[in-house]
Amino acid sequence: MARLKVAVLISGRGSNMGALIDACAVPDFPAEIVLVVSNRADAAGLETAKAAGVPTALIGHRDDPDRASFEAALNAALDAAGVELVCLAGFMRLLTADFVRRWHDRLINIHPSLLPAFKGLHTHEQVLSAGVRITGCTVHFVRAEMDDGPIIVQAAVPVLPDDDAERLAARVLRVEHQCYPLALRLIAEGRVRVENERVILDASGDGLASLVNPAAGIRAAK
């Protein structure tokens, strides 16, 4: 069976890209990364991809006069590589509705919260300010609105009393590295479909554990 051809778009270190590269290196993984694209020449993830033998491309958004020209160059690179699915991994460039429409249900993103809560930037600061006990991450199909679209995979992470944004981000990132490869596998195996803007999964939820924070057995303060 042919492996799904995937491109990863990055703007920085590309840690989630690295998790996807590691997953795709397993012989029976149903997808392969055929291209990594960055809009920034200083993105450390480009060197990570090159070291793994993955083809890379630099398409600087400042090199094109407008968004349409930038996205035309991006689409040309994706088409030339035979890309079937695009993964955003810290790609700090808003994509137009036209680009999203062209890649409808073939463009996915990971966000460090339990969407639809805490969209946008400074996510972990938002979480801590709100005082929630549980946060997490979400892999979703991309739609024209920021951090919006049918949800594929989510994972919950407890918010601890001594957390700051850096500690919380590190804990969420560890589960991001599990969720993104899982979402890619589910899609590549044909176990994901979208109906009425909801993802229908061919997967069993039996045996899933609940996460309660703080723990049920905690003693009340006197």
Q: What are phi and psi of 215, to 5 degrees?
A: -60, 145
Residue with more model confidence, 213 or 54:
54
* Residues 112, 125 contacting (CB under 8 angstroms): no
Q: In the block, which residue shows the tokens 């990971």?
A: 110
Looking up tokens 């695009």, which residue turns up? 86
pLDDT score for 218 = 57
Q: Do domains 1-103 and 110-222 have the same CATH topology?
A: yes
Ranges 126-140, 167-181, 199-213: which has the least confidence: 199-213
- Which pLDDT tens digit goes with each residue over 76-90? 999 999 999 999 999
How sure is the predictor about 201, in pLDDT bands with cuts at 50, 70 and 90? very high
> For 110-222, CATH number?
3.40.50.170
Say which CATH topology domain 1-103 has.
Rossmann fold (3.40.50)
Q: Which residues are catalytic?
A: 111
Determine what percent of the chain is predicted with pLDDT higher than 90.
Answer: 86
Give the whole-angstrom CA distance, residue 135 versus residue 115: 9
Average pLDDT rounded to a whole number, residues 182-190: 97
210 pLDDT more than 90: no
Domain locations in the chain as residue ranges: 1-103, 110-222
